[in-house]
Structure 1
Amino acid sequence: MIYDIEYYTMCHEKIDELIHFVINENHLHHREVLKAEDINSVRQILCAEEKQYFNSHIFVATSNNIICGSIRIFQKTATQILPIEKNFNINVEDLAGAGIPIYHIGRFAVSKGADKRGFRIFKTLMVLALNVATREKGGTVFAECDVKLLRTIRLLGIEAEAIGAPIHYLGSETIPIRLPWTGYQSFLNRNRDLLRNELGIFWQ
């Protein structure tokens, strides 16, 4: 069990490390065995995708300088295509409404066995990400997650709406979801104390 957790912002030059961690954790959690060449192919695709999100905020949890949790959020620009649009053919502008800020959360992962203290790592990473989405009032957050993660999100008091049929993605059945502004405000208000963690620049 891990207790000495520190939280950092990760610089974009370290996206390769982020993707490596996320892929490994996804396949460990879902017990899916892939060939080395398949893993490398997925890694290259995700790294290329992630590098397009130049405006993202990446938060990581570490223990003894080893990543044990991650999450990424960014506000969509007019030229950016979200994974939820590409993989699920969903028009997020139509769902959010005219003029509503649109955010996307992704690359969420927590090491197996690292988060036994009431989902503290999970909650802290979610608070850090959702706090970014409050910078413009009314922001709607989109994400993709598996059934277990969706259940946990709802148990934490975040209103998450499934907006499409699941597909197999990164080792599990993945569902597109929407978090409306009102759906995550009470969660943030209850967990404001978690924002007191001092954030640094990871590996820089």
Structure 2
Amino acid sequence: MNWTPENHYFTKLNKNELPELIHFYLVTTQQHYKLDSYSEEEYAFDFESLIGEDQIFFDRSIYYVLRSKLDNCIQASIRITFWDKETSLPIQKLFDIETESLLIPDVKNFWHIGRFVISGKIIGNRINILKKMLFDAFYGPYSLGSGLVIAECDRKVVNTLRKLEIESFQLGDPIIYLYSETLPIYIKSEWLETFIEKNKYSQFSIGNHADIQKFVEMSKLMLLCSKNNE
């Protein structure tokens, strides 16, 4: 069974839709924190910074988005990235974390999660939408196993994850980033088991299998590139 909301539909983002996503992400953040003084200069700076990150990570990522059936506008988003362990992650720049601190022994697959936001315009079904977005993003890391999901995460989101029985480990002190208290965290793939198994019946779709295959191919390519560079 694949749950779907009545007035929205789940889909994936194409690369040429990145500007739309970043605009949605920034505007929704502005509205959530009631940033009346958010200037055009601040918006332009944040836009260029975020879209630069996403252009780097896009080919190793899947972006899950929720769109309105009425106007096709994005209403929610989340990104899961299969990290190559070489490209600098946002969390490293923001919290001055060295790559070696993230490469935990005996972990094979490393991931980064981001761009998680749900529009305040969505009144009903928010918890189901939240679960669906998280299920899709976490299903790959959980299924491939031996994984570590890395994120710079709003404290409220960390608390929400805990309520959903997803534990996390805090890597350092919080900072204020994009107007919210942000924590550097990681989640081991085995910590996702309770959440995935509890929500599999209502949230799983055939597309989840296709996503896993995409990540398997990425893994093979990364391994090949690593051997060629030895």
Q: Scaled by the length of structure 1, what TM-score is found?
A: 0.89
Equivalent position of 2:30 in the other structure:
27
Match of 1:36 among 17, 40, 46: 40
Give how far 1:11 is off.
Answer: 1.0
Give how far 1:197 is off.
Answer: 7.6
Give how far 1:69 is off.
Answer: 0.4
Following superposition of structure 1 onto structure 2, how do residues 64-143 of structure 1 map, counting pairs within 5 Å? Answer: 64=69, 65-91=72-98, 93-100=100-107, 101-114=109-122, 116-117=124-125, 119-143=127-151
Q: 1:179 to 1:147 in 2, by over 3 A?
A: same
Q: Going by fraction, where is helix more abundant, 1 or 2?
A: 2
Give how far 1:106 is off.
Answer: 0.2
**Deviations along 1:137-176, whole A, 9 cap, x unmatched?**
1111011121211111111111122221111111211111
Give how far 1:190 is off.
Answer: 0.8
Q: 1:194 to 1:52 in 2, by over 3 A?
A: same
* Aligned residues of 1:115 and 1:122 also touching (Cα < 8 A): no
* Aligned residues of 1:9 and 1:59 also touching (Cα < 8 A): yes
Is 1:196 matched up with 2:205?
yes
CA-based RMSD:
1.9
Match of 1:183 among 169, 187, 191: 191
Cα distance in 1 between the residues matched to 2:39 and 2:105 = 44
Equivalent position of 1:55 in the other structure:
60
* Aligned residues of 2:9 and 2:66 also touching (Cα < 8 A): yes
Cα distance in 2 between the residues matched to 1:115 and 1:9 = 22
Question: Which stretch shifts more, 127-136 or 186-195?
Answer: 127-136
Equivalent position of 1:202 in the other structure:
none
Equivalent position of 1:16 in the other structure:
19
* Aligned residues of 2:85 and 2:99 also touching (Cα < 8 A): no
Give how far 1:185 is off.
Answer: 1.3
- Identity between Structure 1 and Structure 2 (%): 30
Q: Which has more radius of gyration? A: 2
Equivalent position of 1:162 in the other structure:
170
- Equivalent pairs counted in the alignment come to 198
Cα distance in 2 between the residues matched to 1:157 and 1:102 = 21
Give how far 1:92 is off.
Answer: 5.1
Q: 1:67 to 1:17 in 2, by over 3 A?
A: same
**Deviations along 1:48-87, whole A, 9 cap, x unmatched?**
1110002110000112212110000111113311111111
Equivalent position of 1:149 in the other structure:
157
One-letter identity of the residue aligned with 1:195: F
* Aligned residues of 1:70 and 1:108 also touching (Cα < 8 A): yes
1:134 match: secondary structure: helix
* Aligned residues of 1:7 and 1:197 also touching (Cα < 8 A): no
Q: 1:187 to 1:96 in 2, by over 3 A?
A: farther
The higher relative CO (CA closer than 8 Å, separation ≥ 6) is in 1
